[in-house]
Amino acid sequence: MGNRRQFIKQSSMLSAGIGASFIFPTELLASIRKKVSPNDRIQVGLIGCNGMGFANLKSLLKNSEVEVVALCDVDKNVLAAKTEALEKAGVKKPKWYGDYRKMLEDKDVDVVVIGTPDHWHCLQLVDAVDAGKDVYCEKPIANSIAECDAMLNKVNASDRMVQIGQWQRSQPHFVDAINYVHSGKLGQIRLAKAWAYQGWMGSIPVVADAPVPDGVDYKMWLGPAPDRPFNKNRFHFNFRWFWDYAGGLMTDWGVHLIDYALYGMKAANPKSVMALGGKFAYPDDAEETPDTLQTVYEFDGFSLLWEHATGIDGGNYGLDHGISFIGNNGTLVLNRGGWKVIPEKDRSKENGLKLEAVPHQSVAANGLDLHTVNFLEAVKSRDKDILNAPIQVGYDTARVCHMGNIAFKTGKRVYWDAANAKFSSAEANAQLGKEYHNGWKLPMG
């Protein structure tokens, strides 16, 4: 049953156009990797070896010049499983670390991939840059706006190549769609929408706290988060639904989709934000973050609407996820499967349209693989300007997503003062950062 569920979940990911790298069988790497001179190798260390961390590593390893020399994880069971998978692909066993700071001292590591839970991203990225490493960091870049600020300042003051894992920036049909939006053909765009309806997500039953599993350094896993007893609901994949470590669907899928809404509208700073939602589908389950949310951002000249719901697939335009740009002349609808344009009627003409319809457009390409190649090109050329998702891209989107969560938590419309980088209310400003615990300190950037 477990294998069947995994297959169904993986199949649904593919149908959403997520890409082959995410479920690319590791053993197939052996058939595509070629011998490379030691002088041409880019040596990689991975921090956080489950989920997207390992998917990013596999994507990088499709490039023969990449060599994985170190794996770092707080769970020795994960280290063993991922090492076994790599060895089946003919990859030499990497060095193991339980503390990422020790891995950053390793002179063999040129590039660091960060695939840990969100609450660790800030410390690990800042420390990696200080250690002179180039970094590929999973999204969202941070778990608070204060962390976003620290990370942006640190990266901008360095010469390190930093790519954020918002890989849709490298997906050709996303680029084509935004070029159309920027062409002006849609006319004045008054509303942009982004949404994620995740029907595969069910309830997470409440379970009792339990002893820490063998091989897990739970204190290290908690890091700067509050000290709590171990509970399997908060561990590995499901950390996303707890405020200590992440921001729910808003900062999970929202970062990918709101990124493109902002990109299309050439916007970064909303004037105000309001949000309504809650735990409507599963009110008594273990999750803390809302399973249903509608967030409205006010910008000059247009509004941006974010929607998410778990346990439901029926999103806008019949799509379970996407972005739409609603203009006076027509609407462009975009998701991981492709894009199309729906024209508005021209009522001054019989059977007339304000623009020509564009049928479904897609490109057979793997966005994640193109994204990691783009990162490697920047590493080799030492040219930050060619990065498709530099730190600023990750910063702008993560900050807007965190604003939405802050509006939800306050239950009020909150107003953003872009000149001073703060809200107009003390209650909202109190949530710009998160208190660090267990002896860890927020980096100052």
Residue 269: domain span: 172-362+395-429
Range 274-298 average pLDDT: 98
Say whether both 181 and 86 belong to one domain.
Answer: no
* pLDDT confidence band for 8 (50 / 70 / 90): very low
Asked whether the beta carbons of 398 and 139 are under 8 A apart, the reply is yes
Say whether both 300 and 337 belong to one domain.
Answer: yes
pLDDT tens-place string over residues 328-370: 999 999 999 999 999 999 999 888 999 999 999 999 999 999 9
Say whether both 10 and 153 belong to one domain.
Answer: yes
* pLDDT confidence band for 205 (50 / 70 / 90): very high
* pLDDT confidence band for 308 (50 / 70 / 90): very high
Is 161 a member of any domain? yes
Is 440 a member of any domain? no
Range 152-179 average pLDDT: 98
* Dihedrals phi, psi of 337, to nearest 5 degrees: -90, -20
CA distances from residue 310 to 198, 199, 233, 279, 289 in whole angstroms, order as listed = 5, 6, 17, 10, 11
Rounded distance, CA 22 to CA 13, Å?
9
Q: What is the CATH number of the domain that holds 410?
A: 3.30.360.10
Range 78-104 average pLDDT: 96
Asked whether the beta carbons of 407 and 295 are under 8 A apart, the reply is yes
The pair of structure tokens assigned to 412 is 């009020």
pLDDT at 5 over 50: no
CA nearest neighbour of 388 among 408, 370, 414: 370
Cis peptide before 229 (omega within 30 of 0): no
Rounded distance, CA 253 to CA 196, Å?
7
* Dihedrals phi, psi of 128, to nearest 5 degrees: -65, -40
* pLDDT confidence band for 213 (50 / 70 / 90): very high
Say whether both 212 and 313 belong to one domain.
Answer: yes
- β partners of residue 134: 111
Say whether both 224 and 161 belong to one domain.
Answer: no
Say whether both 382 and 310 belong to one domain.
Answer: no
Please report the DSSP string for 236-300 in residue order: GGGGGGSTTT--HHHHHHHHHHHHHHHHHHT----SEEEEEEES-SSTTSS--S-SEEEEEEEET
Give residue 35's pLDDT.
85
Q: Can you list the positions of beta strands (E) in 149-239?
A: 162-164, 189-198
Asked whether the beta carbons of 76 and 215 are under 8 A apart, the reply is yes
pLDDT at 19 over 70: no
Indicate the average pLDDT of the chain. Answer: 94
Range 134-147 average pLDDT: 98
pLDDT at 17 over 50: no
Q: Which residues of 262-286 are buried (b: 16+ CB within 10 A; e: fewer)?
A: bbbbebebbebbbbebebebbeebb
Is 444 a member of any domain? no
Say whether both 315 and 258 belong to one domain.
Answer: yes
Is 436 a member of any domain? no
Give residue 38's pLDDT.
84
Say whether both 158 and 67 belong to one domain.
Answer: yes
Is 442 a member of any domain? no
Q: What is the CATH number of the domain that holds 46?
A: 3.40.50.720
Give residue 34's pLDDT.
85
Boundary residue ending a domain (377, 394, 411) = 394
pLDDT at 7 over 50: no
Give residue 239's pLDDT.
97
Rounded distance, CA 16 to CA 271, Å?
32
Say whether both 28 and 140 belong to one domain.
Answer: yes
Is 438 a member of any domain? no
Task: Please list, in sequence order, all residues whose beta carbon lies within 8 angstroms of the beta carbon of residue 121, skipping any fewer than 6 positions away.
Answer: 114, 137, 138, 140, 141, 142, 143, 147, 151
Say whether both 78 and 13 belong to one domain.
Answer: yes
Is 309 a member of any domain? yes
Give residue 406's pLDDT.
98
Asked whether the beta carbons of 250 and 380 are under 8 A apart, the reply is no
Task: Please list, in sequence order, all residues whose beta carbon lies within 8 angstroms of the beta carbon of residue 110, skipping any fewer than 6 positions away.
Answer: 42, 43, 44, 133, 134, 379
Residue found under tokens 């010469």? 159
* Dihedrals phi, psi of 71, to nearest 5 degrees: -120, 135
Please report the DSSP string for 290-341 in residue order: -SEEEEEEEETTEEEEEEEEES----GGG-SEEEEEEESSEEEEEETTEEEE
pLDDT at 1 over 80: no
Query: SS3 for 145?
Result: helix
Instruction: Name which residue leads in pLDDT, 35 or 405.
Output: 405
Range 67-86 average pLDDT: 97
Say whether both 249 and 327 belong to one domain.
Answer: yes
pLDDT tens-place string over residues 373-421: 999 999 999 999 999 999 999 999 999 999 999 999 999 999 999 999 9
Rounded distance, CA 77 to CA 425, Å?
46
Query: SS3 for 354?
Result: coil
Domain count of the chain? 2
Give residue 351's pLDDT.
82
DSSP state of 41: -
Say whether both 260 and 384 belong to one domain.
Answer: no
Is 435 a member of any domain? no
Distance between the two ends of the chain, CA-based, in angstroms?
Answer: 47
Radius of gyration in angstroms for the set of CA atoms belonging to the chain, rounded to a whole number: 22
Residue 363's CB is within 10 A of a number of other CB atoms, namely 12
